[in-house]
Amino acid sequence: MKQADVIIIGGGAAGFFTAINAAEKNPELKVIILERGKEVLTKVKVSGGGRCNVTHAEFIPKELTQNYPRGKKELLGPFHTFMTGDTIEWFEKRGVELKIEEDGRMFPVSDSSQTIIDCFLSEAKRLGVEMLLNQSVKEIQKEAYNFIINTTTDTFSAGKIVVATGSNPKIWQLLESLGHTVVPAVPSLFTFNIKDGRIIDLPGLSTDASVKVLDEKGKTVLESSSPLLITHWGMSGPAILKLSAWGARVLEPLKYHFNIEVNWLNTLSEEDALDALKELKSLQGKQTLFKYAQFELPKRLWQSIVKASGIDERITWADATRENLQNLANQLTAAIFEVTGKSTFKEEFVTAGGVDLKEVNFKTFESRVCKNLFFAGEVLNIDAITGGFNFQNAWTGGYLVAQAITK
């Protein structure tokens, strides 16, 4: 049987961040990472399209938590100890400079996830962290002062263990057998499939819009206002991704079949839009309605909306009937689209679900059910929208666990 002070199960982002910080804080500690694969940090490698979106330029803890549909409340405290600014400093201290993109996402200046992997591997080596590959954990037993961990080939023993296995159903089962509650996993962060003549010719077009998810009775159940991107399959962009993440648990029982209402004019009401259209009618009567886009909408979108309102391309503003304008106001501010399924967002498979947050002490990320067992990363029922927030959860959790286990 191999012994260690701390065994970290899972050689991903959270596992490495925990191991390095623990070994740095207490060099006496024997730290082992058990990884089931033949390589570590495989998700980091492919993350952010191979560039690794390490974190996000949001430096106010409360604001940062707004990006976590699950974990919003629980992460506020931990973010006061370790958050985005600390992440930047942590990497900078180790020779990895990060840069901010226009939308706030942060990447290594090298634009390569390998920079992050190289940093982790060299730090782990420098600090004597032992990394064992092909060690798939099959069993965890709790004894009086120790945990016994069985992998496919070996047995290990440690006083403290950190579970950093990401979204992994088998480990969740093991954790259930140790008394934990696991919230079942459902997909989060996806795009909406929509087949509709109004958007079929507009892939690639992006505009600010407000989108509501409606229930069978037409009542609003979710709402978001952000840039919306029309794709070959339907709709994506922050407005849709936010709805998919916040609505992960609402949309799953609907089997991803529901209606959305799009307001292409964002916050403008149908009545106000109608007033604006009437004014346009009185001001530019001679112009054809179809030709020039209004409300700063992209021209192709405007023309598609005009067509969808049943208005002939040759009609001038002066000739537009009250009914024409009413239909147009409706299509502009309350256009209903039928969603018939979902698609993965850029290969980024994020799931909502994991260890129930009520069973975790967020000062230390220790289990409230099983003493000396800690969690870091996606194994918990925490997930975020896209933008570097999922990794930030791994760094924050890993850092706090490291502080707790080296006390």
Ligand X SMILES: Cc1cc2nc3c(=O)[nH]c(=O)nc-3n(C[C@H](O)[C@H](O)[C@H](O)COP(=O)(O)OP(=O)(O)OC[C@H]3O[C@@H](n4cnc5c(N)ncnc54)[C@H](O)[C@@H]3O)c2cc1C
- Give whichever of 53 and 331 is closer to ligand X, judged by the CB atom: 53
- Give whichever of 172 and 192 is closer to ligand X, judged by the CB atom: 172
Q: Residue 377, interface with ligand X (CB under 6 A)?
A: yes
Report the nearest approach of ligand X to the CB of residue 10 (Å): 3
Q: Residue 108, interface with ligand X (CB under 6 A)?
A: no
Query: How many angstroms from the chain centroid is the CA of residue 1?
Result: 39
Please identify, among the stretches 167-175, 233-241, 328-336, 356-364, the one whose residues bind ligand X according to the rule CB under 6 A: 167-175
Query: How many angstroms from the chain centroid is the CA of residue 332?
Result: 30
Q: Residue 11, interface with ligand X (CB under 6 A)?
A: yes
- Give whichever of 131 and 274 is closer to ligand X, judged by the CB atom: 131
Number of residues that bind ligand X (CB under 6 A): 39
Q: Residue 354, interface with ligand X (CB under 6 A)?
A: no
Q: Which helix (H) or strand (E) holds 230?
A: strand 220-230
- Give whichever of 84 and 324 is closer to ligand X, judged by the CB atom: 84
User: Among 6, 14, 117, 355, which residue sits at the site for ligand X (rule: CB under 6 A)?
Assistant: 14
Q: Residue 347, interface with ligand X (CB under 6 A)?
A: yes
Decide: 244 and 342 in contact? Cβ < 8 Å: yes
Distance CA 161, CA 169 (A): 18
Q: Give me 110's structure tokens.
A: 């090298």
Report the nearest approach of ligand X to the CB of residue 82 (Å): 15
Q: Which helix (H) or strand (E) holds 229?
A: strand 220-230
Dihedral of CA atoms 191, 43, 51, 126 in degrees, nearest 10, equals 160
Distance CA 165, CA 232 (A): 35
Decide: 186 and 205 in contact? Cβ < 8 Å: no
Contacts of 326 (CB under 8 A, 6+ apart): 274
Please identify, among the stretches 47-55, 83-91, 249-257, 270-278, the one whose residues bind ligand X according to the rule CB under 6 A: 47-55
Residue ranges in contact with ligand X by CB under 6 A: 9-15, 34-37, 42-43, 46-48, 52-53, 135-137, 164-166, 168, 170-171, 347-350, 377-379, 388-391, 394
